[in-house]
Amino acid sequence: MYDVKGNLREVLSRLPAGVRLVAISKYHPAEYIQAAYDEGQRIFGESHEQELRVKVGALPDDVEWHFIGHLQTNKVKLIAPYIDMIEAVDSMKLLKEINKYALRNNRVIKVLLELHIAEESTKYGLTLDACRELLSCGEWRELKNISICGLMMMASFIDDDEQISREFQTAEDFFNEVKAAYFPDDDNFCERSWGMSDDYHIAVRHGSTMVRIGTAIFGPRVY
């Protein structure tokens, strides 16, 4: 097996205090997750509902599962009974769907709003203006079974540290803006989920509170 435990210790030793690790285990076998679990890791991130379901059944109950990928509305009801946090929410429609099934399961589901800041064109994530619009419309305040805990984003996949650094800074500035405007008295709104295997060393200099790291712990994914 890949040296999951050694890699995990190495990554953890590089994280400043106050930054939590979400170990991204997608496409890796449950044995790898168990190895990280045995080393003390409790938060894991997956991006496909079926794969997640299998792993939830195979791992201990006290794992905190984060859904990190694009979530289709028709999959919400399947993960609502157990998912701890849904990291990549980018529409009011999805927020409402999560709220609906959280209510049915008599629980509160934590969510992050996904920003689209990177240069790459993708259909996922909110532009800063779209995020401002979603928050200013205020409808989210009625959704009592979700807790909006912060923001999530991915930097561009490029080999340019300065560009990546600028993108994380944009995200950090935007977090401060919406925190002040919409969540000044809400301590739950505190998470900045940015930083992956190749760029977390930059992300932690720009206010990240949560890094999502896969390859650096579990090795290359086999698709």
Does 212 bind ligand PLP (CB under 6 A)? Our answer is: yes
| Residues in contact with 108: Cβ distance below 8 Å, sequence separation at least 6, in sequence order | 102, 144, 145, 146, 147
The 10 Å CB-count burial string (b at 16+, else e) for 143-164 is bebbebbbbbbbbeeeeeeeeb
Does 214 bind ligand PLP (CB under 6 A)? Our answer is: yes
Site for ligand PLP in 77-96 (CB under 6 A): none
Does 69 bind ligand PLP (CB under 6 A)? Our answer is: yes
Does 24 bind ligand PLP (CB under 6 A)? Our answer is: yes
Distance CA 98, CA 91 (A): 11
Q: What is residue 130's DSSP assignment?
A: H
**109/112 with CB nearer ligand PLP:** 112
Distance CA 217, CA 155 (A): 19
Per-residue binding string, ligand PLP, 128-167, x by CB under 6 A, is --------------------------x-------------
Count of positions on this chain that bind ligand PLP (CB under 6 A): 14
Does 197 bind ligand PLP (CB under 6 A)? Our answer is: yes
Does 47 bind ligand PLP (CB under 6 A)? Our answer is: yes
Distance CA 11, CA 143 (A): 36
Name the segment binding ligand PLP (CB under 6 A); options: 104-112, 159-167, 179-187, 208-216.
Answer: 208-216
Distance CA 163, CA 40 (A): 34
Binding site for ligand PLP (CB under 6 A): 24, 26, 47, 68-69, 154, 196-198, 212-216
